[in-house]
Amino acid sequence: MGLILYHFPPSGPSRGALLAAKAIGADVDVQIVNLFKKEQLKEDFVKINPQHTVPTLVDGDVSIWDSHAIGTYLATTYGKDETLYPKDPKQRALIDQRLYFDCGTLYPRIRAICFPVLFLGEDQIYDEHKAPLEEALGFLDVFLEGNEFVTGNKLTVADCSLVASTSSIAAIGWDLSPYSNVAAWVARCSLAIPGYAEFNQTGADEFGKLVRSKLAPGQL
């Protein structure tokens, strides 16, 4: 039995895991779990992942969820070389830090804006949520100063996660122009990651369109 990735295209974290798989060259069987239809609550899926989240990776008798854990697992287990997740402790620690920045800082601040709009009936984006996201994008811009990618001049699994998050907020119409390093990096990732348009941008656009459709005029 091969690798199975349970995936929902509008989800930034889910796209981050899929981008990592594509960058690594791992052959994954993508199975769609529609969160809007609550398919993640089906009994068969809950048996695989009791936290019922996507993405979820199944590799034989092992199930892994959280996109960052999936990316590093795939790179360690199936990577053709160490480029995307080197074994060197210092290099790996820097990649891990960027991954933790995504899951602990950037993505939660994106979610704080988009989740209430998608699921709680909000139609506005409040300043109290805008400022933290701008701060996180500013941090990312600093990480990229003088670098082509988020840990240096080579693509890693950290780029896959962070660009999936960043493209999600860009797709709702967030202005990235104040962060020139970020904007240029997104463009580089779109060329460096195989299948970027199909496996990331299409889902980001779907996500962005849905969020925009629920916002009051003039929110962005």
Q: Which CATH number is 126's domain given? A: 1.20.1050.10
Residue range 57-95, pLDDT digits in tens: 999 999 999 999 999 999 999 999 999 999 999 999 999
**Which residue range(s) make up the domain with 73?**
3-78
- The answer as to whether 220 is a domain residue is no
Confidence of residue 1 (pLDDT cuts 50, 70, 90): low
Residues 6 or more apart in contact with residue 164 via CB below 8 angstroms: 12, 13, 15, 16, 19, 67, 200, 204
Give the model confidence (pLDDT) of 102-149 as tens digits: 999 999 999 999 999 999 999 999 999 999 999 999 999 999 999 999
Same domain flag for 145 and 122: yes
For 29-68, b/e burial (b = at least 16 CB within 10 A) is eeeebebeeebbeeeebeeebeebbbbbbbbeeeebbbbb
Catalytic residues: 11
Give the global pTM: 0.96
Q: Are residues 107 and 166 in the same domain?
A: yes
Domain termination site, one of 19, 51, 78:
78
Shared domain check, 135 and 205: yes
Please give the pLDDT value at position 187: 98
